[in-house]
Structure 1
Amino acid sequence: MVVVTTIRKVNDDLIMRAQKIAAFLNTKYVPRRKEGISKIKERYNADVALVVKSNQLILDLPEGEMFFHPNMAQVRIKRLRYGGNDNMLDAMQVKKGMKILDCTLGFAADAIVSSYGVGENGKIVGLEVNPLISLVVKEGLKTYLPTNYDLKAAMNNIEVINQDYLSFLKAQPDNSFDIVYFDPMFRHALLDSKNLSPLRQLADNRPVSPEAIEQAKRVAKYRVVFKENSRSLEFARLGFEKICGGKYAPIHYGVIDV
């Protein structure tokens, strides 16, 4: 169960916003009344509490808090601004003005970098099947204030849709996106990805199906790109014969040119 509440220092606008979010999620709004989040969760037998702040939404999960932050996206964009490369953009062969479908948005780090790559005339559509993650990221992309214009412009150019990728792909015309991208939760987690542990509680852990890849090949004009652990057998299972990424890199990208 999920409950929606606010921070302790509250006003009428914040209460109204929290109530609207609870109604949107079809769940219960709980007045904070200076009570601790753990107590609220215990009282309502809730696994997750969505805490509404004036400029941020926070998910309180059994393994920790999660909130929107560009994280490594800002580091990767900084590297690109100074003439460096990015393995994901290289695998995608991103060009300015492209339209990219990110089928597994998560907390949007890859989508932000993709958005920077396509520029202001391009477009990123990000699909997130979990309504909580989708809401937190959609709000975060609008309200987070980065330190530079390039990062903010990239964040502004992402459309977030709460839908599973297979049904979305089936509804799209042929060649309607330049690139279709998948970054599913790794079948075998990397040791240095412990900061993603809370996200794993909400993420869609189902493996990507061959049907989804076939639909992606139909929808993509140029290529389908699949991100995974470099040791993963998913590339072979899904028909990705072309693999990009550094020889010793822990992450590789499978590519299908269409």
Structure 2
Amino acid sequence: MKSLGFAVTTSHRVKPVLVEYAKQIAGELETRYVERNDRSIEALSAELGVEGMVVVKSKKVSFVSRAGEFFFHPGIAGPRINELKNGKTDQMIDAMSIKPGNSVLDCTLGLGTDAIVASYTVGNSGRVVGLENSPVIAYLVKSGLASYPVADGDTFTAMRRVEVVQADHRDYLRTLPAGSFDVIYFDPMFRLPGRRSPAINNLRALADPEPLDRETINLAVKIANKRVVVKERRGSAEFGRLGFEKIQGGRYAPVVYGVINCQGL
């Protein structure tokens, strides 16, 4: 992963409680806290020689760079969960073939939307762990999952259950014995320009740009009890390169899922 320089500051409206919170975040992220002093984020970043700043405001914490502003939002997790509650099919859940009590390892957490939906499906008796290589994304998403207010109780509970681990999935997978998770999931699509929302596009300055490799998929197949699933655009050559022969998804959906059945089936 490329090196990313960043520091932590506050909004223009400085309050002692925000300063203390910003210093706490800087400590957790092992970087600097810098006083704002009415400087713009662009000017502050240029002065410090960093690519962006973690900005602590009274109602949210975000990462601001030339690419834009990134902050946690559950996205369409809530609507997808409502669809499931109404008996409709979610293509990702169908591809994962998960049920209450199952365990899922999301190797490319991003904003965590897919992990939230998986968490709802596996329920209180299941487990969802999300891996995120970027310390900033991992911190913002972990904090957001624990505190973001949502009205729907099922979405609220599902968000709180997701476990966020800041780690490179390539390293993390090497530590796991066979059978550690029922399903191992990859969604590298958020790194592709113009494929999703502005919030996703603003991840680009933070995201690990490395593509998935066959070795990682083969390792995941040895670890998963049920399935390894990769989300990609329809017609992508990545499925063939990574060894996925079974493809699932809606007939007209722009994205589909490659599935490899594992030893536990």
Q: TM-score, with normalisation over the residues of structure 1? A: 0.94
Gaps of 5+ in 2: none
- Rounded Cα–Cα distance in structure 2 between residues aligned with 1:209 and 1:193: 26
Paired-residue identity, %: 45
1:157 equivalent in alignment to 2:161: yes
Q: Which moved more, 1:84-93 or 1:182-191?
A: 182-191
* 1:217 equivalent among 206, 217, 221: 221
**Could you tell me which amino acid in structure 1 is paired with residue 175 of structure 2?**
A
**Could you tell me which amino acid in structure 2 is paired with residue 64 of structure 1?**
G
The alignment yields a C-alpha RMSD, in angstroms, of 1.7
Q: TM-score, with normalisation over the residues of structure 2? A: 0.92
Judge conservation of contact 2:110–2:190 (CA < 8 Å) in 1: no
- Rounded Cα–Cα distance in structure 1 between residues aligned with 2:190 and 2:62: 24
Counterpart of 2:67 in structure 1 is 63
Counterpart of 2:233 in structure 1 is 229
Q: Secondary structure at the match of 1:151?
A: helix
Counterpart of 2:152 in structure 1 is 148
Instruction: Call closer, same or farther: CA 1:222–1:167 in 2, change over 3 Å.
Output: same
1:205 equivalent in alignment to 2:209: yes
Counterpart of 1:16 in structure 2 is 20
Judge conservation of contact 1:62–1:198 (CA < 8 Å) in 2: no
Q: Deviations over 1:126-173 (max 9, x none)?
A: 000011100110111111001111111010111100101111111011
Instruction: Call closer, same or farther: CA 1:70–1:211 in 2, change over 3 Å.
Output: same
* 2:184 equivalent among 177, 180, 183: 180
Instruction: Call closer, same or farther: CA 1:187–1:64 in 2, change over 3 Å.
Output: closer
Counterpart of 1:33 in structure 2 is 37
Q: Which moved more, 1:39-48 or 1:173-182?
A: 39-48
Q: Deviations over 1:101-129 (max 9, x none)?
A: 00000110110111111111111000000
Q: Which moved more, 1:75-84 or 1:137-146?
A: 75-84
**Runs of at least 4 residues off by over 4 Å:** 186-195
Structure 2 matches for 1:92-131, cutoff 5 A?
92-131=96-135
Structure 1 residue 12: Cα displacement: 2.6
1:239 equivalent in alignment to 2:234: no
Structure 1 residue 23: Cα displacement: 2.3
- Rounded Cα–Cα distance in structure 2 between residues aligned with 1:187 and 1:28: 27
Judge conservation of contact 1:188–1:232 (CA < 8 Å) in 2: no
- Rounded Cα–Cα distance in structure 2 between residues aligned with 1:227 and 1:30: 39
Structure 1 residue 61: Cα displacement: 1.7
* 1:166 equivalent among 159, 166, 170: 170
Structure 1 residue 28: Cα displacement: 1.7
Structure 1 residue 54: Cα displacement: 4.2
- Rounded Cα–Cα distance in structure 2 between residues aligned with 1:224 and 1:248: 23
Counterpart of 2:8 in structure 1 is 4
**Could you tell me which amino acid in structure 1 is paired with residue 25 of structure 2?**
I
- Rounded Cα–Cα distance in structure 2 between residues aligned with 1:44 and 1:182: 35
- Rounded Cα–Cα distance in structure 2 between residues aligned with 1:241 and 1:207: 19
Gaps of 5+ in 1: none
- Rounded Cα–Cα distance in structure 1 between residues aligned with 2:124 and 2:26: 34
Q: Deviations over 1:41-62 (max 9, x none)?
A: 2322321110113452101021
**Could you tell me which amino acid in structure 2 is paired with residue 169 of structure 1?**
L
Structure 1 residue 32: Cα displacement: 2.1
- Rounded Cα–Cα distance in structure 1 between residues aligned with 2:81 and 2:246: 26
- Rounded Cα–Cα distance in structure 2 between residues aligned with 1:163 and 1:192: 24
Structure 1 residue 193: Cα displacement: 4.7
- Rounded Cα–Cα distance in structure 2 between residues aligned with 1:200 and 1:185: 11
- Rounded Cα–Cα distance in structure 1 between residues aligned with 2:241 and 2:98: 25
Judge conservation of contact 2:12–2:36 (CA < 8 Å) in 1: yes
Q: How many residues align?
A: 258
Q: Secondary structure at the match of 2:28?
A: helix
Structure 1 residue 39: Cα displacement: 2.8
